[in-house]
């Protein structure tokens, strides 16, 4: 009996017990043994997978509902097999870890099932489609003891670590405000009508636990980012990198308690649902009665950089400021705009992969552990919920991960799922 049949005959509790046993019996790679991976999603996953191969990992299987993509990935990675259904990867006892680089709506369900099956997980950002899924994934990782690394490559990159170390050590004084911006020119996705999926593309499998809707050509490869059912907008696509770095610099290790600002479509007149412009402030009350603030700006219609960088951060302290662009390096300035220190360099996927592999072998937590990834993704979700509700301000309880006295906002903490689908997470 394979896992697909098995799921159909088990209730949630029994399925959980099965996977708990599977997790305990999972193969562990030795210190000098290649880590064996399966790749889920053969676009971004192919790029990340090649970094794994470069670091000595072996690809056992590639997986994608698009036949052309998975076959091309098999050729380029030397994978033993290419499959459409990722449950076949979970059934492979040789696989130590999976790389999940699918559309956002599959991130958490796949990652949770992989943990339950005894696999370690490298999941692209954002780690979850919504706040509730992020919490459930964190709990699953802790319960199963699996290493879950989020694709926030800045966390595993030396040049960025150096910048944040200076900030945390007081090089610019007390940092009260951290700014993150996502300024770049995205493409117009136009308008489209429902149509038949292209040959070789298993659309039903692609939709998975999301609500079923007719196939539409501008809601497919990559353009799924801009649709509520499948993506998280550019805040969850690119902005989450800068949001994570900003929270890191502030030294906050919780969610914000208030979110203010707005989000709107100000430029694109196409089918995309998420804002193309967002201006959001996140408030973090401190134990001593002071306040720290994280500010996010998004303009995905603008070809003009800000302070010389399209996607970047600025950290403002009492004795200076630091500008950091994950693709360019950083510059530290004193109170009179005097350049005091600098370092060039870009974020590094190989360093991040090394960190993940080392965590698997040593049994520790990686630099972009799921708890960190959940906090970063939640910032993107909070910004999007603010826009969708049309509120100017929302209060959020960091402990319960619930909005205060706002039923409309709380309805967006989770999502609607396809009724009866086998990948709907337990507890949503």
The full set of domain ranges for the chain reads: 3-153, 156-190+203-350+379-410
Instruction: For 3-153, give the CATH class.
Output: alpha beta
Beta strand ranges found along 10-128 (DSSP E): 36-40, 58-63, 81-83, 97-100, 120-123
pLDDT on residue 304: 83
pLDDT on residue 3: 38
What does residue 308 show for φ and ψ, rounded to 5 degrees?
90, 0
pLDDT on residue 65: 98
Tell me the average confidence (pLDDT) per consecutive run of 10 residues in the chain, 428 residues long. Answer: 35 36 46 86 94 95 98 95 97 98 98 98 98 98 98 93 95 96 96 97 98 96 97 98 97 97 97 98 96 97 85 96 93 94 92 95 95 98 98 98 98 97 95
The two tokens of residue 116 are: 């339950």
pLDDT on residue 241: 97
pLDDT on residue 8: 36
CATH 3.30.450.20 fits 156-190+203-350+379-410, yes or no: no
Q: CA 8, CA 3: separation in Å to the nearest integer?
A: 9
pLDDT on residue 28: 53
pTM: 0.93
pLDDT on residue 7: 37
pLDDT on residue 308: 80
CA quadruple 229, 234, 235, 240: dihedral sign = positive
> CA torsion 244→248→251→254, rounded to 10°?
30
Please enumerate, as own/partner, the contacts of 59-64 that have beta carbons within 8 Å and a separation of 24 or more.
60/36, 60/89, 60/92, 60/94, 60/95, 61/88, 61/89, 61/92, 61/95, 62/38, 63/38, 63/39, 63/88, 63/89, 64/40
């Amino acid at each position: 009996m394979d896992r697909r049949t098995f799921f159909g005959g088990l209730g949630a509790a029994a399925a959980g017990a099965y996977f708990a046993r599977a997790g305990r019996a999972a193969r562990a790679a030795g210190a000098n043994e290649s880590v064996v991976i399966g790749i889920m999603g053969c676009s971004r996953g192919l790029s990340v997978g090649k970094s794994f191969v470069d670091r000595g990992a072996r690809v056992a299987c590639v997986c994608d509902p698009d036949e052309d993509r998975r076959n091309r990935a098999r050729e380029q990675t030397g994978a033993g097999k290419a499959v459409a259904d990722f449950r076949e990867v979970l059934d492979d006892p040789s696989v130590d870890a999976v790389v999940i680089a699918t559309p956002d709506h599959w991130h958490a369900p796949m990652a949770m099932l992989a943990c339950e099956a005894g696999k370690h997980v490298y999941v692209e950002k954002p780690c979850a489609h919504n706040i509730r899924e992020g919490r459930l994934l964190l709990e699953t990782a802790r319960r199963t003891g699996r290493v879950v690394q989020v694709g926030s490559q800045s966390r595993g990159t030396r040049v960025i670590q150096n910048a944040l170390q200076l900030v945390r050590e007081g090089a610019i004084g007390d940092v009260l405000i951290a700014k993150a911006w996502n300024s770049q020119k995205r493409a117009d996705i136009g308008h489209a009508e429902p149509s038949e999926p292209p040959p070789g593309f298993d659309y039903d499998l692609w939709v998975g636990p999301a609500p079923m809707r007719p196939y539409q050509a501008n809601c497919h490869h990559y353009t799924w980012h801009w649709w509520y059912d499948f993506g998280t907008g550019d805040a969850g696509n690119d902005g989450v990198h800068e949001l994570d770095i900003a929270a890191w610099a502030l030294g906050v290790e919780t969610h914000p308690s208030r979110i203010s600002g707005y989000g709107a479509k100000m430029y694109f007149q196409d089918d995309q649902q998420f804002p193309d412009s967002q201006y959001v402030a996140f408030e973090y009350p401190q134990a001593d009665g002071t306040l720290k603030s994280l500010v996010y700006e998004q303009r995905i219609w603008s070809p003009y950089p800000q302070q010389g960088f399209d996607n970047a951060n600025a950290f403002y302290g009492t004795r200076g400021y630091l500008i950091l662009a994950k693709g360019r390096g950083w510059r530290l300035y004193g109170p009179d705009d005097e350049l005091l220190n600098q370092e060039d360099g870009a974020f590094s996927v190989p360093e991040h992969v090394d960190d993940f592999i080392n965590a698997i072998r040593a049994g520790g937590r990686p630099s972009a552990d799921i708890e960190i990834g959940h906090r970063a993704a939640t910032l993107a979700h909070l910004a999007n919920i603010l826009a969708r509700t049309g509120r100017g301000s929302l209060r959020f309880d960091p402990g319960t991960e619930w909005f205060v006295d706002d039923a409309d906002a709380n309805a967006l903490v989770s999502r609607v799922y396809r009724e009866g689908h086998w990948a709907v997470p337990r507890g949503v």
